[in-house]
Structures are given as C-alpha cells and as structure tokens.
C-alpha cells in the first residue's frame, strides 16, 4: 500500500501509538471485517455498487467500510450481513480458557 488514503494513514499511526490498546483493537476489528465483507462480496461476484444497493447504502459507504475507513456500527454490519445472506455474530468469549 503506497499512501493513497488519508485516514488510512492516520489510522495506521493511531494503531501504532502505545496506550491506544482498545482503539487499536477496534480499528483492527474494523479492518478485518472490511476485508471479510470484501471477500464475501467478491465471492458473489458483486460490485460495491450492487452490494450497496442490496444493503441499502451507497457505493462510497461500502468502499469506506471495506477499506477500514471507520469503525462500523452494529446497525451497518447487520445490514451488510443481511445483504450478503450471512448472520452477524457478536459475542464475548473467554480469553484462553475453554469455550
């Protein structure tokens, strides 16, 4: 990644800063989710525009999300999940112990 984005860079820095533990985790989560959605979308052979329509949002929103531009809201995640015909799973799980 060269340096196309802006927030992409900012977020990177943020994630590098010490003490930003939780913020870091959230950003990472956002990034991974974005990635996941992208793969699912491509898997279906859809364009961002198509997914956007299906999820009731705009192409720009999808792009921003996939790129990890913001920490998504549960509402949005839910919408995307539906559009992709998936189930959104959010839960607290033990750190190391059994499940």
Partner DNA sequence: CCAACTCATAGCATCGACGCTATGGGCTGG
Partner DNA sequence: CCAGCCCATAGCGTCGATGCTATGAGTTGG
60 to 99, contacts with DNA by CB under 7 A?
Answer: 60-61, 63-67, 69-73, 75-77, 79
CA angle 39, 45, 51 (to 5 degrees): 75
**Cβ 66 vs Cβ 38: under 8 Å:** yes
User: Per rule CB under 7 A, is residue 12 in the interface with DNA?
Assistant: no
What's the closest the beta carbon of residue 99 comes to DNA, in angstroms? Answer: 25
Which of 6, 85, 89, 97 lies at the binding interface for DNA (CB under 7 A)?
6
Provide the token pair at 75: 């509402």
The pair phi, psi for residue 93, each rounded to 5°, is -130, 150
Rounded CA separation 45/40 (Å): 9
Interacting residues with a copy of itself (CB under 8 A): 21-23, 25-26, 29-30, 33, 36-37, 40, 56, 71-75, 77-82, 84-95
């Amino acid at each position: 990644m060269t340096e196309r984005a802006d927030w992409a860079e900012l977020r990177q820095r943020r994630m590098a800063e010490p003490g930003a533990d939780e913020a870091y985790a959230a950003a990472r989560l956002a990034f991974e989710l974005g990635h996941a959605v992208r793969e699912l979308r491509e898997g279906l052979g859809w364009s961002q525009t198509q997914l956007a329509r299906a999820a009731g949002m705009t192409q720009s929103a999808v792009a921003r999300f996939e790129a990890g531009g913001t920490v998504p809201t549960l509402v949005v995640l839910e919408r995307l999940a539906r559009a992709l015909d998936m189930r959104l799973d959010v839960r607290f799980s033990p750190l190391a112990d059994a499940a």
